């Protein structure tokens, strides 16, 4: 006997990355299937995401966000706060002093600050000084698991076409999972993945070519 069914796919709000398909079978029984949402980027629950270059006048805002980032990373690294109660980051000013090799962006979601992406030309994981490297990357907790990080990363790579290197300490397991997924979606599996240990810290390293859209 042949059966046919009409499947309705819905994406619930707030967006949680799952699509739900309801199959109405005979005698009124309902079978609910769950699978990764294929239309995630088109979902109307998805905020509009944009990278906004950070000008020097916005340095204090970036420094504020950097504190939250350091606090998150202190779960994996032995970061220390100063007597002023701040982690601090002495190299932030380089992003304005070396504009040819350092790039700083706020991640905006529906025109609100959602995080930041910092990139450099030259990576500690490769020898070619023209390679791009994701130096620091952060999405505020309230904006996480909405796809914002993945979209922002893709926008960063599109914006600076070339050979990209992404590194994540393997003890930051969530970051490794996030980057593996973001890179393989972006580079369509045409990427290299390896581990690299420097000064006792083992990192997962991803390399791929970015392209302009
Ligand atoms: C890592 C980080 C940038 C992810 O940002 P995000 O906007 O939440 O990521 P996305 O929503 O785009 O996630 C895309 C996919 O990555 C994976 N992922 C993201 N965060 C994850 C987590 N905490 N645990 C497991 N997988 C995760 C999932 O596969 C996710 O898809 P799903 O939500 O459909 O399951 C964010 O958690 C963060 O800022 N962390 C602290 C700073 C940090 O570790 N930065 C990276 C340094 S290398």
Ligand 1 contact, 71 CB (< 6 A):
no
pLDDT value at 59 more than 60:
yes
Average pLDDT, the chain: 85
Per-residue confidence at 73, pLDDT binned at 50, 70, 90? very high
Structure tokens given for 89: 């980051």
Q: Which residue has the higher pLDDT, 211 or 172?
A: 172
- Provide the pLDDT for residue 5: 52
* Interval between CA 174 and ligand 1 midpoint (Å): 6
Ligand 1 contact, 161 CB (< 6 A):
no
Ligand 1 contact, 178 CB (< 6 A):
yes
Q: What would the mean pLDDT of 146-163 be, rounded to a whole number?
A: 97
Name the percent of the chain lying above pLDDT 70: 78
Ligand 1 contact, 66 CB (< 6 A):
no
Least confident of 36-40, 64-68, 199-203: 36-40
Per-residue confidence at 189, pLDDT binned at 50, 70, 90? confident
Per-residue confidence at 188, pLDDT binned at 50, 70, 90? confident
Domains of the chain: 4-42 (no CATH), 46-209 (3.40.630.30)
The answer to whether the beta carbons of residues 35 and 23 sit under 8 Å apart is no
Atom 23 of ligand 1, nearest CA residue: 174
Question: Among positive and negative, which fits the CA dihedral 201, 204, 210, 213?
Answer: negative
CB atoms within 10 A of CB 144: 14
- Provide the pLDDT for residue 43: 57
69: part of which helix (H) or strand (E)?
Answer: helix 59-73
Q: Which residue has the higher pLDDT, 91 or 5?
A: 91
pLDDT value at 22 more than 60:
no
């Amino acid at each position: 006997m042949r059966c046919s069914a009409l499947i309705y796919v819905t994406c619930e709000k707030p967006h949680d990355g799952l699509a739900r398909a309801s199959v109405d079978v005979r005698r009124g029984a309902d079978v609910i299937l769950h699978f990764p949402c294929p239309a995630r980027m088109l979902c109307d629950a998805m905020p509009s995401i944009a990278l906004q270059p950070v000008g020097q006048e916005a340095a204090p805002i970036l420094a504020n966000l950097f504190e939250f980032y350091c606090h998150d990373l202190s779960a994996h690294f032995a970061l220390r706060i100063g007597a002023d109660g701040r982690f601090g980051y002495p190299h932030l000013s380089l992003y304005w002093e070396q504009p040819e090799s350092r790039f700083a962006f706020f991640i905006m979601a529906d025109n609100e600050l959602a995080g930041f992406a910092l990139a450099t030309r030259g990576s500690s994981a490769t020898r070619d000084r023209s390679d791009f490297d994701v130096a620091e990357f952060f999405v505020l907790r309230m904006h996480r698991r909405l796809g914002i990080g993945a979209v922002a990363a893709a926008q960063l790579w599109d914006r600076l076409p070339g050979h990209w290197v992404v590194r994540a300490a393997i003890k930051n397991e969530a970051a490794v999972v996030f980057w593996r997924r973001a890179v393989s979606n972006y580079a369509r599996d045409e990427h290299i993945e390896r581990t690299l240990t420097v000064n006792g810290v083992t990192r997962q390293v991803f390399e791929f070519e970015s392209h302009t859209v």
